[in-house]
Amino acid sequence: MGTNKRKILAFIPARSGSKGLPGKNIIKVAGLPLIAYSINSGRSAKLVDKILVSTDSPQIGRVAKRYGAIVPFLRPAKLATDTAPTIDAVMHALRWLEDSGEQYDAVALLEPTSPLRKAGDIDRAIKILLDNWEKTDAVVSLGEIALESPYIAKKVQNGYVRPLIKVPGLTTRRQDLPKAYFPYGVIYLCKTTTLEKEKTFYPKRIMPYYIERWQNYEVDDIWNLVTIEAVIKCLKTAKVNNKK
């Protein structure tokens, strides 16, 4: 970590109050606590200077420290509710670090619910920002959606099935539809100055970092968890077989 002249903070938000899947941030997934995957990815990134976990839970904090993150404080309760925006927790951490004499040029938000990162994902996304520092303020990981495309999605209105998006003359052949993407939590990267001004990881000047189809999962419920665990096990098996 930390071979870059601009200082990058990896920020991992991990509050304790998940309702969809209680305790999900430290639930075991293919042998590791879920949060460990994001910490390990951050530790392997050469362009990351520090990995900070923001949590309101002493238990999550202990697990995070065990895998190499710093947990310098417990997040205040008002910043750990269902409705508290993640950006508020980010700004709280930046202020805490600044008061301790540390300043960072950019923040890489690594969602613990997105454990499917390839080696080098974080560094490649950071490099996009560094190489375009004067032209962009942020980078977001995007996964292409095909079967879930909004152009073929439907809604039910007054009891009838209707197109979610009406586009006159739009083909219904999936292969011919415009490409659509969803922002997954592999990485949200933004300049610190932009975060301070705009309070968002989605400023006007934002560039994409494309991820692969098998990375398009987030742990929000038990079904996501089962799917992600299967993907991780398949990747481990493939890695072992490639070494033979």
- 79-103: average pLDDT: 96
Tell whether 207 is covered by a domain. Answer: yes
Q: Which residues of 49-72 are buried (b: 16+ CB within 10 A; e: fewer)?
A: bbbbbbbbbeebbebbeebebebe
pLDDT at 68 over 60: yes
Output the pLDDT for position 169: 72
Q: The pTM is what?
A: 0.90
End-to-end Cα separation, the chain, in angstroms: 30
Q: Is residue 176 part of a domain?
A: no
Range among 16-30, 71-85, 142-156 rated most confident? 71-85
pLDDT of 172: 66
* Mean pLDDT value of segment 23-52: 96
Q: Is 154 helix (H, G, I), strand (E, B) or coil?
A: strand
Establish if 53 belongs to a structural domain. yes
The position carrying tokens 């050469």 is 46
- Apex 83 CA angle, 39 and 36, nearest 5: 10
Secondary structure of residue 201 in the 3-state scheme: coil
- Domain assignment of residue 150, yes or no: no
Query: The domain containing residue 62 runs over which residues?
Result: 8-142+183-243
Give the helix ranges, DSSP H, for 112-167.
121-131
Domain presence at residue 31: yes
Task: With respect to residue 64, please indicate whether it lies within any of the assigned structural domains.
Answer: yes
User: Residue 156's beta-bridge partner residues?
Assistant: 161
**pLDDT tens string 162-221:** 988 887 777 667 777 888 899 999 999 999 999 999 999 999 999 999 999 999 999 988
Q: What are the pLDDT digits (tens) for 118-133?
A: 999 999 999 999 999 9
CATH of the domain at 112: 3.90.550.10
Sequence-distant (6+) residues with CB within 8 A of 171 are 177
Amino acid 156: pLDDT = 96
What are 8's strand-pairing partners?
106
Q: Which pLDDT score is estimated for 2?
A: 56
Indicate if the pLDDT at residue 134 is higher than 60: yes
Number of independent structural domains in the chain: 1
